[in-house]
Amino acid sequence: MVECFLIHKQAADAKELENRIKELRKGFGDVAANIFLRELRGVWKKADSNPTSLVILAASELKILKKCYSTWGVETIESVLGKETNC
Q: Determine contact, residues 46/18, Cβ cutoff 8 Å.
A: no
| 41-53: burial string, b at 16+ Cβ within 10 Å, e else | eeebebbbbbbee
Better-predicted residue by pLDDT, 70 or 85: 85
pLDDT, tens digit (0-9, with 9 covering 90-100), for 5-62: 788 889 999 889 999 999 888 888 888 888 888 888 888 888 877 777 777 777 777 7
Question: What pLDDT is recorded for position 5?
Answer: 73
Question: What pLDDT is recorded for position 49?
Answer: 74
Q: Determine contact, residues 19/13, Cβ cutoff 8 Å.
A: no
pTM to 2 decimal places: 0.62
d(CA 45, CA 42): 7
Question: What pLDDT is recorded for position 69?
Answer: 53
70 pLDDT more than 50: no
The domains of the chain are located at 2-39, 51-87
